[in-house]
């Protein structure tokens, strides 16, 4: 952090998404509910403390009733869950016991509620019945809702913020970020988060600048402070001096002109100067992003991250709800292909509503296909929806986080069972769709040849492949310096995967963020990759790069890369070799 006499302060973080924005800070405080204090309440104040608690329950219940009213009444079982919550608000265990605890222990309502809900939670968890164990989640949600009314915490709904501001948050989940309304939010900055975390991926697709991993931004910045967010350099400037402001206004205008210039050519084909055609596709998180995928000239959706729908709903969707979304998506993209990746929750996309278990190492935990194979019903519901949607367009099915052959064999069993069920139910569906796996765990790279015999295509997920091969948490700012796409180890793994796919004659795609950064393009082309899927905002700049390159020369240059021992050597080589065509980038001073 560096501060000048006038109070201008520069804080360095990690680039979340490029671009510059200038505006007022808006602090998003979600911590209120967690910072509960205990204080004694005198005998005479007990009745008013109980009244305060009852009042919070009534408010929370009213809010909840409004949510139920606003819902589609076709939701079947999920509506039942919400109605169960309605009952829990006045349940003897939570409601009755909290009142009892306030008067017996003479303590404040917040502390009493926290104490009771913790006791109820541990009681439920000891019961040997999965259904009851799962109800812990309901109790947590209901007591959190009451708590937020008690502490007066603003339950800020990002979707509802309607001021032109820059969000400043301790952390924003990918689901929070996907709620951002572009007309109001100019950009965001967070204390936590690392390079290519899912939050940064969402920011890139929204095309708003963001800087993550700032450490203590929420402590150093006040509401309405003027902020400059330089997402390209990963810095923010708080309360800038006039000349700094002026300089950044000019930079912002240059960046926007540059982006507009590149986007103008995004409809042109991605063909190298020596006539090799590449297939550039879009990674999307929401069906609504199809518009920007098409505008940016994508030849299909190479990765649809389906988990965002689940995270937004905060519950597991039904087969029909999923079918509706998938059908809409494939019909919009038809005849271009849509690769639907099955649910990849946990890791950095944890949502206590979906899986209340806290893990010490979430990135190494019950994530993605591991979660799905443990929760076969949820998995099968999604597979059935995908197979049904495949009757309406061109779908490919992609399974994340496969780490061994046994997993893909088990996936195929669940898939076959889902097919039999759909046949029994007389549903219209299409089972002849390509099946692929993400190659994002080093063990899958090592076993790529064996895995290739079970599937139709591979998609390299470099975001995780880098995380797992360099042993760094992709959301942890303290190890972000080791997040190196061009590390020789990563390049060797890409080459191994490419060779295995070639040998076994299956298709190879890359859908990690690495494919969307122009500096990596000479290397990827050089290694022989021709199918790249990326954040749709990156397609125009990558296309421009490809159109100025020579595929055969890239192949010759790539051979030299394997002589280098460090990332630095590779970067220096590319910067020198491709100086003329690498995109413009302003360096900070
Ligand atoms: C990846 O890991 O590279 C990938 C594309 O998947 P995600 O970013 O959703 O983990
Ligand atoms: Mg991944």
- Note the pLDDT tens digit of each residue in 83-138: 777 777 777 788 999 999 999 999 889 889 988 888 887 777 677 766 666 666 67
- The continuous run of DSSP H or E covering 589 comes out as none
Q: H helices within 233-349, ranges in order?
A: 242-264, 290-295, 307-313, 319-333
pLDDT band at 353, cuts 50/70/90?
A: low
Residue to mutate (ligand 1; options 464, 475, 514; most atoms within 8 A of CB): 464
Q: H helices within 151-266, ranges in order?
A: 174-177, 198-206, 217-220, 242-264
Question: Which residue shows structure tokens 């998180």?
Answer: 285
CB 332 within 8 A of CB 317: no
How confident is the model over 327-341, as a mean pLDDT?
Answer: 96
Tokens (6 digits) for 308: 């965002």
pLDDT band at 359, cuts 50/70/90?
A: confident
Best CA proximity match to 342, nearest among 437, 221, 269, 224: 437
Domain boundaries, the chain: 2-30+156-259, 34-151, 265-577
* CB neighbours of residue 96 within 10 Å: 12
Catalytic residue among 21, 64, 149, 511: 511
Query: Which has more confidence, 83 or 76?
Result: 83
Q: How far apart are CA 195 and CA 472, in angstroms?
A: 11
pLDDT band at 200, cuts 50/70/90?
A: confident
* CB neighbours of residue 268 within 10 Å: 12
Q: What is the pLDDT of residue 81?
A: 64
DSSP result, 542-561: HHHHHHT--HHHHHHHHHHH
CB 135 within 8 A of CB 85: no
Question: Which residue shows structure tokens 């413009």?
Answer: 584
Q: What is the pLDDT of residue 184?
A: 84
Active site residue 198: yes
Cα-to-centroid distance, 283 and ligand 1 (Å) = 10
Query: Which has more confidence, 70 or 363?
Result: 363
The string of pLDDT tens digits covering residues 442-487 is: 999 999 999 999 999 999 999 999 999 999 988 787 888 899 999 9
Among 57-66, 210-219, 286-295, 420-429, which range has the highest average pLDDT? 420-429
Sign of the CA dihedral running 182, 187, 189, 192: positive
CB 435 within 8 A of CB 460: no
Q: How far is CA 156 from the centre of its chain?
A: 20
Q: What is the pTM of this model?
A: 0.73
Best CA proximity match to 288, nearest among 251, 325, 236: 325
Q: Which CATH class is domain 34-151?
A: mainly alpha
Q: How far apart are CA 269 and CA 279, in angstroms?
A: 9
Among 82-96, 255-269, 395-409, which range has the highest average pLDDT? 395-409
Mean model confidence pLDDT for the chain: 88
90-99, 318-327, 564-573: least confidently modelled range: 90-99
At residue 4, does pLDDT exceed 70?
Answer: no
Catalytic residue among 85, 198, 267, 372: 198
CB 178 within 8 A of CB 199: no
Best CA proximity match to 179, nearest among 314, 333, 74: 314
Tokens (6 digits) for 258: 């540059």
Q: How far apart are CA 171 and CA 199, in angstroms?
A: 9
Q: How far is CA 518 from the centre of its chain?
A: 22
CATH architecture classification, 265-577:
Alpha-Beta Barrel (3.20)
At residue 584, does pLDDT exceed 70?
Answer: no
How confident is the model over 162-187, as a mean pLDDT?
Answer: 83
Cα-to-centroid distance, 581 and ligand 2 (Å) = 30
Active site residue 73: no
Report the pocket of ligand 1 as residue ranges, CB < 6 Å: 303, 305, 344, 440, 461-464, 511-512
Which residues touch 257 (CB under 8 Å, ≥6 apart)?
none
Cα-to-centroid distance, 544 and ligand 2 (Å) = 26
Q: What is the pLDDT of residue 161?
A: 80
| Phi, psi (rounded to 5 degrees) for 568 | -55, -45
| Phi, psi (rounded to 5 degrees) for 414 | -65, -40
Provide CATH code, domain 2-30+156-259.
Answer: 3.50.30.10
């Amino acid at each position: 952090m560096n501060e000048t006499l006038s109070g201008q302060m520069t804080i360095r973080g990690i680039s979340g998404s490029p671009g510059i924005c200038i505006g007022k800070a808006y602090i998003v405080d979600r911590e209120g509910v967690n910072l509960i204090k205990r204080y004694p309440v005198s005998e005479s104040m007990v009745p008013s403390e109980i009244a305060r608690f009852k009042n919070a329950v009534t408010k929370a219940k009213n809010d909840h009733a409004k949510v139920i009213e606003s819902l589609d009444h076709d939701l079947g079982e999920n509506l039942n869950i919400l109605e169960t919550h309605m009952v829990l608000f006045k349940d003897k265990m939570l409601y009755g016991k909290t009142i009892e605890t306030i008067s017996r222990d003479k303590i404040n309502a917040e502390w009493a509620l926290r104490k009771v809900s913790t006791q109820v939670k541990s009681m439920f968890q000891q019961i040997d019945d999965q259904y009851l164990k799962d109800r812990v989640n309901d109790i947590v949600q209901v007591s959190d809702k009451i708590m937020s009314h008690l502490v007066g915490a603003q339950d800020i709904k990002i979707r509802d913020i309607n001021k032109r501001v820059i969000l400043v948050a301790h952390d924003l989940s990918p689901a929070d970020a996907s709620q951002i309304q572009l007309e109001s939010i100019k950009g965001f900055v967070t204390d936590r988060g690392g390079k290519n975390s899912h939050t940064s991926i969402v920011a890139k697709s929204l095309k708003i600048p963001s800087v993550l991993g700032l450490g203590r931004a929420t402590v150093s910045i006040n509401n309405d402070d003027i902020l400059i967010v330089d997402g390209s350099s990963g810095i923010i400037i708080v309360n800038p001096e006039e000349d700094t402001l002026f300089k950044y206004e000019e930079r912002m205008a240059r960046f926007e002109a540059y982006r507009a210039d590149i986007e103008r050519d995004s409809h042109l084909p991605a063909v190298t100067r020596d006539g090799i055609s590449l297939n550039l596709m879009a990674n999307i998180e929401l069906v609504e992003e199809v518009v920007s995928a098409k505008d940016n000239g994508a030849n299909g959706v190479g990765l649809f991250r389906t988990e965002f729908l689940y995270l937004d709903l905060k519950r597991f969707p039904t087969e029909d709800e999923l079918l509706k979304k998938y059908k809409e998506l494939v019909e919009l993209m038809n005849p271009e292909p849509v690769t639907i990746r099955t649910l990849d929750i946990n890791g950095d996309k944890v949502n206590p509503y979906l899986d209340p278990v806290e893990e010490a190492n979430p990135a190494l935990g019950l994530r993605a296909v591991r979660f799905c194979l443990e929760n076969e019903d949820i998995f099968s519901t999604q597979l059935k929806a995908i197979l049904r949607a495949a009757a309406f367009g061109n779908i490919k099915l992609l399974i994340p986080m496969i780490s061994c052959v046994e997993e893909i064999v088990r996936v195929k069993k669940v898939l076959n069972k889902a097919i039999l069920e759909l046949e029994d139910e007389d549903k219209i569906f299409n089972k002849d769709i390509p099946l692929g796996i993400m190659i994002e765990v080093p063990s899958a790279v090592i076993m790529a040849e064996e895995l290739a015999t079970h599937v139709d295509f591979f998609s390299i997920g470099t975001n995780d492949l880098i995380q797992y091969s360099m042993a760094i948490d992709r959301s942890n700012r303290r190890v972000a310096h080791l997040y190196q796409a061009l590390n020789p180890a990563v390049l060797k793994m890409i080459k191994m995967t490419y060779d295995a796919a070639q040998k076994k004659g299956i298709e190879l795609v890359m859908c990690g963020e690495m494919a969307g950064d122009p500096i990596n393009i000479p290397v990827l082309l050089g290694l022989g990759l021709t199918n790249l899927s990326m954040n749709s905002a990156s397609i125009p700049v990558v296309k421009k790069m490809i159109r100025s390159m020579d595929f055969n020369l890239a192949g010759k240059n790539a051979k030299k890369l394997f002589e280098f021992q460090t990332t630095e050597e590779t970067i220096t080589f590319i910067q020198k070799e491709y100086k003329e065509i690498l995109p413009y980038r302003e360096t900070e001073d």
